[in-house]
């Protein structure tokens, strides 16, 4: 497998030339104080070095060794504790954290690039700081000042880790039926009892303490999701002076044996009257959790992008070196027994599909991250609200579409290797296995599609969607004539999405099954259309420069491939949506 190299040139292109993020930061005083183009460039450069040098070399060995469990203790693979210490000492765990508590305070659009790099280098490794950052976000936004001061500095510093304890054996997506209990104590704390499963980083040897965020219900809590509260439950109790005390009454009952991400500890966590502290208000736990959900779900989408990028880097190197057969038009490498496989049309189809989906995904994930930054930091209420509604609309697309495309991309990378792609030593099969979970956790992609269709489209009466549609139409209307080859098909794609959205809104009024029946295909139509917008923006930034630099010529060639070969997928998907829900209900359960 090729050594990982951070795609810094492409990241800078997206940030500086496509979106001109410095202008956004200048308009947001809170960000203008902490970041500029020079600072951002230095951060990305250093992140590229640490991920490629310290973390990427552990990817295959970590997969081979995996995590091990012994009497409640979890050991990560060789090299992980040392690499984590290096990563933590660089401040990377707290790259997006509040400066008040020791974080770097970087905008999400910078954090998104760092996330891509660490996950391309080693997804299993990247999950540990990701879960810590998610826990920190909920604590920062909902915990008391005392709890923030007690926990956040060490979590941002990577001295302590974090986990999110939501799922139970009988309660996955439907958190309203969780059974974990929280008993109030006289001193204001709570005793937490119950079992949580699929807990990423619930136990490990990377840090001296793990701060669990646990969803639980008080004895008098109302039924359903309105009765859920959120608690900080430390693995090791923290004394008033910040030192560590006794172990809390909790433990790891086992770890899962998984298809992929084997170096990430996926734990069964048992809480046996463990001491916990309320985060936010009683029965408002889901509100606190959803604070981090938009960030985490975008983060999972970026994981998919990251794996696709790593697969592409290996595939393109292999395709240039592996010789098999001759080009259809005649010998290219006349001094060799055969031509490199990159001359063959089908190999080029796969490579260009990978490239187009990766680069489109990078632009799209950065666009969503910019909306998160605008929603968080804008001082103009209307601007912040529009960005917040765009985030709500685009988050399920970012999570589901990026990861669905990532599986296609990693499989293409494996296919380019032929038989070698099926062999462990080449690394491509690991990327396929690791990618598969990204379509499942943080809400399966089917659930994301329902969220988009049911809550964000139908639930808003189409108003959230109108923000994006109007923006794209404005771009098309103002574009120069030299962009017509991109804006004309983009305009047609948006019109198709307009019509499809109106069709589903109308059908859902009389048949609620239409929402679920349309949701997955609709999300994919939405995703391909959003990527078309991204590619048109990238084409605008590159056109006219192709004679100066091969980078821009490559960008325009990939844009043309996307519009010619990938965007047309929307037509068959749209036909599937308009076929309606009837065919899904022709069989009784016994007939399947």
Give CA torsion, residues 189, 192, 198, 199, to 10 deg.
30
Handedness of CA 478, 484, 485, 490 (dihedral sign): positive
Q: Token pair 């393109």 is at which residue?
A: 316
Picking from 291, 297, 298, the residue whose alpha carbon sits closest to that of residue 136 is 291
C-alpha 312/C-alpha 352 separation (Å) is 10
CB 260 within 8 A of CB 434: yes
Give CA torsion, residues 77, 82, 87, 91, to 10 deg.
130
What's the token pair of residue 28? Answer: 């947001």
Exposure on the CB side of residue 443, measured as CA atoms within 13 A: 25
Give CA torsion, residues 530, 536, 537, 543, to 10 deg.
160
SS (H, E, C) 433-462: HHHHHHHCCCCCHHHHHHHHHHHHHHCCCC
Which secondary-structure segment (H or E) carries 193? Answer: strand 190-200
CB 487 within 8 A of CB 422: no
C-alpha 104/C-alpha 156 separation (Å) is 9
SS (H, E, C) 146-168: HHHHHHHHHHHCCCEEEEEECCE
C-alpha 101/C-alpha 41 separation (Å) is 24
CB 459 within 8 A of CB 520: no
Annotated active-site residue 442? The verdict is yes
Reduced to 3 states (helix: H, G, I; strand: E, B; else coil), residue 327 is coil
Strands 73-75 and 68-70: what pairing?
antiparallel
What's the token pair of residue 225? Answer: 């999701």
Neighbouring C-beta atoms of residue 424, cutoff 10 Å:
11
Which secondary-structure segment (H or E) carries 190? Answer: strand 190-200
Q: What angle do CA 284, 266, 274 make, to 5 degrees?
A: 50
Residues β-bridged to residue 323: 340
Reduced to 3 states (helix: H, G, I; strand: E, B; else coil), residue 274 is strand
CB 504 within 8 A of CB 457: yes
Q: Which of 442, 471, 514, 582 is catalytic?
A: 442
Residues assigned a catalytic role = 442
């Amino acid at each position: 497998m090729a050594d990982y190299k951070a795609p810094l040139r492409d990241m800078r292109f997206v940030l500086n030339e496509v979106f001109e993020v410095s202008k956004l930061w200048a308009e947001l005083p809170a960000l203008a104080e902490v970041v500029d183009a020079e600072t951002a460039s230095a951060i990305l450069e250093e992140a590229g070095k640490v991920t490629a040098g310290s973390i990427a070399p552990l990817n295959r060995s970590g997969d081979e060794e995996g995590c091990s469990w012994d009497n409640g203790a979890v050991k990560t693979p060789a090299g992980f504790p040392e690499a984590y210490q290096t990563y933590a000492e660089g401040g990377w765990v707290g790259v997006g954290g509040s400066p008040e508590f020791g974080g770097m305070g970087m905008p999400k659009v910078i954090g998104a690039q760092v996330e891509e790099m660490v996950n391309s280098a080693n997804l299993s490794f990247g999950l540990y700081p990701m879960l810590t950052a998610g826990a920190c976000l909920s604590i920062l936004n909902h915990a008391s000042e005392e709890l923030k001061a007690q926990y956040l500095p060490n979590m941002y510093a990577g001295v302590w880790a974090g986990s999110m304890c939501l799922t139970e054996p009988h309660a996955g997506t439907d958190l309203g039926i969780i059974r974990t209990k929280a008993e109030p104590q006289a001193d204001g704390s709570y005793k937490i009892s119950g079992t949580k499963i699929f807990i990423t980083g619930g136990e490990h040897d990377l840090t001296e303490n793990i701060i669990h965020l646990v969803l639980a219900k008080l004895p008098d809590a109302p039924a359903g999701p309105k009765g859920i509260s959120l608690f900080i439950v430390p693995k090791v109790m923290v004394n008033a002076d910040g030192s560590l005390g006794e172990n809390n009454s909790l433990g790891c009952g086992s770890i899962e044996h998984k298809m992929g991400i084997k170096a990430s500890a996926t734990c069964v966590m048992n809480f046996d009257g463990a001491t916990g502290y309320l985060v936010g208000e009683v029965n408002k736990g889901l509100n606190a959790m959803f604070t981090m959900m938009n960030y985490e779900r975008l983060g999972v989408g970026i994981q998919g992008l990251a794996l696709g990028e790593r697969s592409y880097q290996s595939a393109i190197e292999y395709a240039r070196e592996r010789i098999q057969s001759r080009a259809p038009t005649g010998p290219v490498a006349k001094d060799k027994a055969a031509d490199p496989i990159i001359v063959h049309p089908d190999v080029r189809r796969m490579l260009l599909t990978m490239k187009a989906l990766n680069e489109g995904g990078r632009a799209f994930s950065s666009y969503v991250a910019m909306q998160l930054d605008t929603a968080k930091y804008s001082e103009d209420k209307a601007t912040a609200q529009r960005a917040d509604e765009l985030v709500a609309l685009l988050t399920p697309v970012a999570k589901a579409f990026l990861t669905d495309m990532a599986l296609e991309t990693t499989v293409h990378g494996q296919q380019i290797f032929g038989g070698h792609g099926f062999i462990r030593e080449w690394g491509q099969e690991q990327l396929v296995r690791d990618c598969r979970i990204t379509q499942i956790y943080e809400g399966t992609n089917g659930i994301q599609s329902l969220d988009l269709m049911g809550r964000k489209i139908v639930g808003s009466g189409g108003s959230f969607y109108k923000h994006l549609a109007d923006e794209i139409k404005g771009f098309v209307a103002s574009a120069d004539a030299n962009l017509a080859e991109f804006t004309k098909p983009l305009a047609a794609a948006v019109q198709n999405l307009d019509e499809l959205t109106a069709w589903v809104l109308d059908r859902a009024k009389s048949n609620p099954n239409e929402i679920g029946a349309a949701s997955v295909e609709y999300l994919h139509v939405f995703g391909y259309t959003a990527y078309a917008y991204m590619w048109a923006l990238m084409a605008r930034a590159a056109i006219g420069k192709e004679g100066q630099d091969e980078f821009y010529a490559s960008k325009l060639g990939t844009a043309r491939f996307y519009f010619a070969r990938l965007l047309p997928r929307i037509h068959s998907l749209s036909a599937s949506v308009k076929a309606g829900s009837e065919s899904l209900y022709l069989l009784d359960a016994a007939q399947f």
